[in-house]
Amino acid sequence: MDRDIILKALAHSFRRDVLTWLKEPERHFAAQAHPLEMGVCASQFDHRGLSQSSVSAHLATLASADLVTTRRVGQWVFYKRNEETIAAFQAALSDL
């Protein structure tokens, strides 16, 4: 749980949006072919205003801050919120 890296990761609206979307996958990614229990497939974030390469970089930033977990299944990578890190960060920020 690295506050500095997490704060930098959160300092971009797209990355915060990703975390918000992942709170309610069924609401935001209903079109996904795979079951949402596996997580949300990276490609689901494309075409939301950014190119595929930019989306990939943002997801990598979130993953390196440990704010999301990734799980590779075949040719797909599924993303989920990492509630553990998020909660720890919120707790750490309560004595800001």
Partner DNA sequence: TATATAGATCGGGTAGAGCCGATATGACAG
Partner DNA sequence: CTGTCATATCGGCTCTACCCGATCTATATA
Single out the segment in contact with a copy of itself by CB under 8 A; choices: 47-55, 58-66, 70-78, 87-95. Answer: 87-95
* Residue 31 CB, nearest approach to DNA (Å): 12
Residue 7 contacts residue 93 (beta carbons within 8 Å): no
Beta strands in the chain (DSSP E): 40-41, 68-73, 76-81
Q: Which of 12, 23, 48, 71 is close enough to bind DNA by CB under 7 A?
A: 12
Q: Give the span between the Cα atoms of 78 and 41, in whole angstroms.
A: 4
Interface with DNA (CB under 7 A): 8, 11-12, 14, 41-43, 49-54, 56-61, 70, 72, 74-78
